[in-house]
Amino acid sequence: MAGTVHPTAIVDPGARLGEGVVVGPYNVIEADVVIGSGCEIGPFCRFGSGTVVGARNRFESHCSVGAPPQDLKYAGEATRLEIGDDNVFREFVTLHRGTPGGGGVTTIADKSLFMAYAHVAHDCNVGSQTVFANGATLAGHVEVADFATIGAFSAIHQFCRVGTHAFLGGFTVATKDCLPFMSTVGSRPAKCFGPNTIGLERKGFSVESRDALKQMWRLLRSKKLNTSQAIERIEKELGGQQDVDCVLEFIASSERGVILR
């Protein structure tokens, strides 16, 4: 299928558009931009140099894609934003390139939804099938694993991680890592409220897996055990269960600490 470029759009000759790309009115696509086949770009979007977009992504309108990072140390170096396939970016979403000090690239994988005004800062790595509700914001160097949901107007502190299948409620301020499979809600301090049981059930997690996560959570929040003692009990009683092991590995690898209670 042949693509179309609206006559009011400005596309640099150094940009590359794949087959079937639709560029709406008043867009700006700079040099060294690659946009994959089947993408749809609504009006008033800007794609900055160093942006690589995969196939079948949709940009609704007024998106800023691959703008320079908001970092005072940044001095105009060539850095990247890499986006996978089948994502949806709604109105006024902002996505920034990486910085030399953070590896030079911001990455977004596949099949995610970014609602209006969501923001992904420099050097972030976002997995597949995530959901960013309206105004969800990542500071620099944040990692968001597959299947995570970031609630409306939530903010994730720089260098924090959000685990797989994690759920963050609206207006959450996360200054530590957010556990996989768990619901984390609140502002200064945010608190973990245990497994997102309804969400996990909807996603097809087995009863056995959900029960193991619940047992793990009871031990983690026990007033009779500190975190180290709880982890020892979990390893002894629930070790080998895939999702439980995932949480234990996440805790062990945390550099900022995790949000528990």
Average the pLDDT over 137-149 and give the result.
Answer: 98
Tell me if 257 is assigned to some domain.
no
Does 125 share its domain with 215?
no
The verdict on whether 122 is a catalytic residue reads yes
Distance CA 113, CA 139 (A): 18
Tell me if 259 is assigned to some domain.
no
Tell me if 78 is assigned to some domain.
yes
The verdict on whether 84 is a catalytic residue reads no
Tell me if 132 is assigned to some domain.
yes
pLDDT, tens digit (0-9, with 9 covering 90-100), for 26-59: 999 999 999 999 999 999 999 999 999 999 999 9
Q: What CATH number has the domain bearing residue 92?
A: 2.160.10.10
**Catalytic-role residue among 38, 48, 84, 123:** 123
Does 9 share its domain with 137?
yes
Which of 120, 141, 162 is where one domain is finished? 141
Does 119 share its domain with 208?
no
How many structural domains are present in the chain? 2
Distance CA 243, CA 55 (A): 31
**Catalytic-role residue among 96, 119, 122, 165:** 122
pLDDT score of 1: 61
Tell me if 248 is assigned to some domain.
yes
pLDDT, tens digit (0-9, with 9 covering 90-100), for 63-116: 999 999 999 999 999 999 999 999 999 999 999 999 999 999 999 999 999 999
Does 118 share its domain with 226?
no
pLDDT, tens digit (0-9, with 9 covering 90-100), for 105-136: 999 999 999 999 999 999 999 999 999 999 99
pLDDT for 2 beyond 80? no
**Domain interval for residue 241:** 200-252
Check residues 122 and 188 and name the one with the higher pLDDT. 122
Average the pLDDT over 144-155 and give the result.
Answer: 98
Residue type present at position 1: M
Tell me if 261 is assigned to some domain.
no
Does 32 share its domain with 119?
yes
Does 8 share its domain with 111?
yes
**Catalytic-role residue among 24, 42, 127, 140:** 140
Average the pLDDT over 248-260 and give the result.
Answer: 97
Contact partners, residue 117, CB within 8 Å, separation at least 6: 91, 92, 93, 94, 134, 135
Enter the pTM of the model. 0.97
Q: What CATH number has the domain bearing residue 248?
A: 1.20.1180
Average the pLDDT over 152-165 and give the result.
Answer: 98
Tell me if 72 is assigned to some domain.
yes
Tell me if 147 is assigned to some domain.
no
The verdict on whether 12 is a catalytic residue reads no
